[in-house]
Amino acid sequence: MSEPELWMSQRDRDRLKVLQEAAKGHLTQRQAGERLKLSERWVRKLVARLRKEGDQGILHRLRGRASRRRIPEAVRQKAVRLVQREYADFGATLAAEYLAEKHRVRVSKETLRQWLIEAGVWKRKRRRVEEVHVWRARRPCRGELVQWDTSEHDWLEGRGPRLCLLAMLDDASSRALARFEEHDTTEANLRLLGTYLERWGRPVEFYTDKDTMFAVNRPARPAADEAWEEELTQIGRALRELGIGWIPAHSPQAKGRIERFFGTAQDRLVKGMRKAGVRTLPEANVYLEQEYLPLWNSRFAREPANSTDAHRALGREHDLAAILSHVDSRVVANDYTIRYDKKLYQIARADIRPGLRGATVRVEERRDGRVWVRFRDRYVTVSVCESQPQPVAPRPVPNLPAAARGHRDSTWMKGFDLRKSPPLWQILRHEQGGVDAGRGKP
């Protein structure tokens, strides 16, 4: 009859080797105790067990027994039942947090994971082999680099409109600023930029993708040395006026920190708004600012390697209302008017100065809808002109019936048939029988 298999860990096998040497007298009990970091008394006791019981004598006596600190079976069943009923699509970490906060069932995420796997609620997942990207170290100072991106997702899960989450994430500390918008537009991103600048100041650089809001996509140049006029988007122009650099990312993995922020938000934020019953855009922004962002910045943000803050203060020359507006240029006509957005604007007589006629002015459409016009370093007053009268089109001649136009026998038609008849000399020649036909006209 074969002996039953005895399972040992690597630590048990190493201990068995030393104790066997001590039992044979190759090592003293003191030497064995120094190697195993045990007392001589305990080594002497283990050697005695080894001689009496064999190899299994060195195993711990509590192996195979239930722990006295084991969580009761009723708590286990309650946790599994709650997850099945209310948190079926939650991860183990988030489900454990909700169980502790909402139901006072405190259990570690790994214990909960094993319970759900044993109960058949979850299945073990194999990790996918993903492409390896080179890891980039964080910037040392806060405000040195800020990642900026947008996530389009069904954040309200059909309970309300489909929203976009615009976010900025500090590279050094992972501190986040975000806001929900209905659409991912230039105006929405400029509003988020204004909030960031008012709260923390001007960062050194922004790290974004190559979306058309940040970069002008142009065809390849036919000649490398050909001069091209630089074109900037509204956001690119605003960053240049603010003295902030811009770095384009060549792949989503390059800005992995903000991508992971969105991945976490699509799990935690979506389920949190579901439990809170969020259905509208204002409610989503309130939950985001009061619940989720404080949780993220307190739990997932970290202290930067260098405590120096790289943000720069806004100066007097940084007029955010003007910089974060929609800016365009127009040429002043000879009557001191400009055309913008299908409207005609008249420059006030008091602001007319030499060089204004025919000059190019800066037109700013502010976020409140007002239009400001600046010539050189001074704003001029403009007003919308009244719509110019359109020229009156000529009235078409009515197509009268024959009775209204008159009969052929009426007086005004006299001589009409004569004008259509041949000349008199041709008639006479015809009557003479063509005698004078070769002589030409009589």
pLDDT by 10s per residue, the chain, length 442: 455 677 788 888 888 888 888 888 888 989 988 888 889 999 899 889 888 888 888 888 777 777 778 888 888 889 999 988 888 888 888 889 999 888 888 999 899 988 888 888 877 777 665 565 667 789 999 999 999 999 999 999 999 999 999 999 999 999 999 999 999 999 999 999 999 999 999 999 999 988 888 887 765 555 555 555 668 899 999 999 999 999 998 887 888 899 999 999 999 999 999 999 999 999 999 999 999 999 999 999 999 999 999 999 998 899 999 999 999 999 999 999 999 998 999 999 999 999 999 999 999 999 888 999 999 989 999 999 876 656 666 777 666 555 555 555 556 555 555 555 566 666 666 666 654 444 444 4
Verify that 79 and 46 share a domain, yes or no.
no
Verify that 162 and 19 share a domain, yes or no.
no
Domain for residue 85, yes or no?
A: yes
Verify that 182 and 289 share a domain, yes or no.
yes
Whether 172 contacts 140, CB under 8 Å: yes
Whether 163 contacts 181, CB under 8 Å: yes
- The DSSP string of 151-165 is EEE-TTTTSS--EEE
Whether 177 contacts 199, CB under 8 Å: yes
Verify that 184 and 241 share a domain, yes or no.
yes
Sign of the CA dihedral 286, 212, 144, 194? negative
Q: How far is CA 193 from CA 224, 320, 339, in A?
A: 34, 10, 29
Verify that 170 and 266 share a domain, yes or no.
yes
The predicted-structure confidence for 309-350, as pLDDT tens digits, reads as follows 999 999 889 999 999 999 999 999 999 999 999 899 999 999
Verify that 108 and 245 share a domain, yes or no.
no
Domain for residue 400, yes or no?
A: no
Q: What tokens does 49 get?
A: 């067990």
Verify that 290 and 240 share a domain, yes or no.
yes
**Is the overall model pTM greater than 0.85, yes or no?**
no
DSSP annotation of 176: E
Domain span at residue 88 reads 73-118
DSSP annotation of 393: P
The Cα 208–Cα 247 span in angstroms is: 7
Domain for residue 38, yes or no?
A: yes
DSSP annotation of 149: E
Verify that 179 and 111 share a domain, yes or no.
no
Verify that 262 and 181 share a domain, yes or no.
yes
Verify that 101 and 173 share a domain, yes or no.
no
Tell me how crowded residue 84 is: count the other CB atoms within 10 A of its CB.
Answer: 12
The Cα 291–Cα 283 span in angstroms is: 11
Task: Give 165's strand partners.
Answer: 151, 180
Pairing of strands 146-153, 163-170: antiparallel
C-beta pairs of 366-374 under 8 Å, 24+ apart in sequence: 366/321, 366/322, 366/325, 367/187, 367/190, 367/191, 367/321, 367/324, 367/325, 371/340, 371/341, 371/345, 372/322, 372/325, 373/330, 373/338, 373/345, 373/347, 374/322
Which residue matches tokens 């004598």?
A: 57
The predicted-structure confidence for 372-399, as pLDDT tens digits, reads as follows 999 998 999 999 987 665 666 677 766 6
Domain for residue 293, yes or no?
A: yes
**To 5 degrees, how large is the angle CA 208–CA 209–CA 213?**
85
Sign of the CA dihedral 72, 78, 84, 86? negative
N residues, the chain: 442
Verify that 277 and 334 share a domain, yes or no.
no
Q: How far is CA 406 from CA 14, 396, 416, 421, in A?
A: 129, 20, 14, 22
| Alpha helices for 103-223 (secondary structure H) | 109-118, 186-200
The Cα 346–Cα 379 span in angstroms is: 13
C-beta pairs of 28-37 under 8 Å, 24+ apart in sequence: none
Q: Which of 238, 235, 214, 234 is nearest to 314 (CA)?
A: 238
Whether 117 contacts 123, CB under 8 Å: yes
Burial class (CB in 10 A: 0-12, 13-18, 19+), 71: middle
Helix axes 40-53, 29-36, angle to 10 degrees: 100
Whether 170 contacts 335, CB under 8 Å: no
Helix axes 10-24, 40-53, angle to 10 degrees: 90
Tell me how crowded residue 40 is: count the other CB atoms within 10 A of its CB.
Answer: 14
Domain for residue 198, yes or no?
A: yes
Domain for residue 68, yes or no?
A: no
Domain for residue 45, yes or no?
A: yes
Q: Per the structure, how many domains does the chain have?
A: 5
Tell me how crowded residue 285 is: count the other CB atoms within 10 A of its CB.
Answer: 16
Verify that 292 and 376 share a domain, yes or no.
no
Domain for residue 27, yes or no?
A: yes
